Amino acid sequence: MFESKKRWLVLLILSVTVFALLAACRAVSDPPESDTTDAGVGDSGTTTGGGEPAATTEPVAEAGDGSLLILEWSGYEATEYPDFFGPFTQKYADNLDSVVEYSFFADDAEAYTKIQSDFEVDLTHPCTSWWSLYVDAGLVQPIDTSRLSNWSSVDPGLAAMGQFNGKQYFVPWDWGYESMTVRNDQVTEVPTSWADLWKPEYAGHIAIWDNAEQNFIVTALTLGIDPWNASSDEVEQIKQKLLELKPNLLTYWVDYTETYDLGTTGGAWIVSGTWQDAFATIQSDGYDVSYIQPTEGRLGWVCGYGISTSSKNIDLDYEFLDAAIAPESSAALSNTFWYGGSNVDSLPLIDDYVVQFMELDKLDTLADRTVFYQPLTEEQRQTITTVWDEVKAAP
């Protein structure tokens, strides 16, 4: 149903092999504060349908005025986390606020819709399942990797995911997991499977991400259906199964900082679809919490930066990209957010417990334990969005 599933599997195998050099993992020395605004960090390349989108902060700058305008998940701001882009933020430390501006999005669907609406930006930060859509729609331009001094240290498997038609269109930057963050002290039995979300004992105490793609995939996995090759009958089964989940739901979360409060004072025993930061933050606050390895596998995502075809600040684009993939930048991302970075030379700079949490000593079985997002076709995107819209609208 999408272009070359075999290609994806080959790249995934290659990525798993070289991930052993990566050692990056969103490990939090000091977990991100819960007052970060706007959209969720990290994501897995996802589709939204229905519901009100997260509030976004519109940029002051316009593309081409000598400053970068980046379409971004909130929580990655260079002004908030300068170490994530060390060489760039150090060079422009005296006027960073005027050199880089942001427009935030809640998930990939919102970003894709925004950039399709003639919204001119310089850089955008989608995830792998959406990259081919950007390329096919002519929304990003090829990247000249010879202009990136740190490119030779980028994980080859991750780099290959951003290649289309023999050209590099995306610079991979971050990767991680999606799973369930569970308050062990509030459940009588800690879930071990995505299918456990449907257990009646959790009624009214589950919060899930308001995200079409993720919930479609999770539900398909519980039914034993290949999410990327679902027939029309199987799509209907997935929809019905999602409708059956609604009595168990406390709420839908949109902003990633909501997961912190929901897991502590918000009444959620299980917060589903979370990234590593939720577990790290709640645990650091002293709560008994688990980050589940479901029997069906955690979901895995890879995201990265592309240069918009409307960009008028090309030299600045390349400065920013090269700084983002510098070893010290990659390590800062891992040690702060427990996410993986793309630069393999960051390994000596990563905290040891990050490796342990991300199970980097078991990377040879990563593909067996993790369900990585795969490229979406436009038809799949529309189908998944329609299903989620109908589920959200149902009583």
CATH classification at residue 27: 3.40.190.10
Range of the domain at 163: 5-176+301-378
Tally of domains in the chain? 2
Query: 77 and 15 in one domain?
Result: yes
Higher pLDDT, 39 or 103: 103
Question: Do 268 and 311 share a domain, yes or no?
Answer: no
Mean pLDDT is highest, among 1-15, 283-297, 335-349, 357-371, for 283-297
Does the pLDDT of residue 328 top 50, yes or no?
yes
Average pLDDT of the residues in 146-175: 96
Selection from 120, 171, 125, 126 nearest residue 144 by Cα = 171
Each residue of 199-246: pLDDT tens digit? 999 999 999 999 999 999 999 999 999 999 999 999 999 999 999 999
Indicate if 38 and 171 belong to the same structural domain.
Answer: yes
> With bands split at pLDDT 50, 70 and 90, how would you rate the model's confidence at 317?
very high
**Residue 68 forms part of a structural domain:** yes
Q: Based on the domain organization, do 88 and 9 belong to the same domain?
A: yes
Percent of all residues in the chain with a pLDDT value above 90, rounded to a whole number? 71
pLDDT at res. 366: 74
The predicted model scores a pTM of 0.78
What average pLDDT does the chain have? 85
The Cα–Cα gap between 338 and 276 comes to 6
> Would you say residue 323 lies in a domain?
yes
Return the pLDDT at 384.
97
Domain boundary at 268, 298, 328, which? 298
Using 50, 70 and 90 to split pLDDT, how confident is the model at 65? low
Residue 19 has pLDDT above 50, yes or no: no
Residues 131 and 212 in one domain: no
Strand-pair category, 340-341 with 249-253: unpaired
- Least confident span in 61-65, 82-86, 227-231, 232-236: 61-65
The answer to the question of residue 393 being in a domain is no
In a domain, 390, yes or no: no
What local confidence, expressed as pLDDT, does residue 390 receive? 98
Radius of gyration from C-alpha coordinates of the chain? 20
CB 33 within 8 A of CB 372: no
Specify whether 50 is located in the same domain as 62.
Answer: yes
Domain assignment present for residue 389? The answer is: no
CA distance 290 to 42: 19
Token pair for 271: 């917060």
Distance CA 395, CA 391 (A): 9
Return the residue matching tokens 């025993």.
269
Residues 316 and 371 in one domain: yes
Has residue 74 been placed in a domain?
Answer: yes
Instruction: Evaluate whether residue 239 is within a structural domain.
Output: yes
Assess if residue 54 is contained within a domain: yes
Strand pairing category for 340-341 and 140-141: unpaired
Same domain (yes/no): 122, 224: no
Do 79 and 161 lie in a common domain? yes
Chosen domain end from 298, 319, 339: 298
Considering the domain architecture, whether residues 268 and 151 belong to the same structural domain is answered as: no
Residues 311 and 269 in one domain: no
On whether both 269 and 333 belong to a single domain, the answer is: no
As a whole number of angstroms, the distance between CA 54 and CA 48 comes to 11
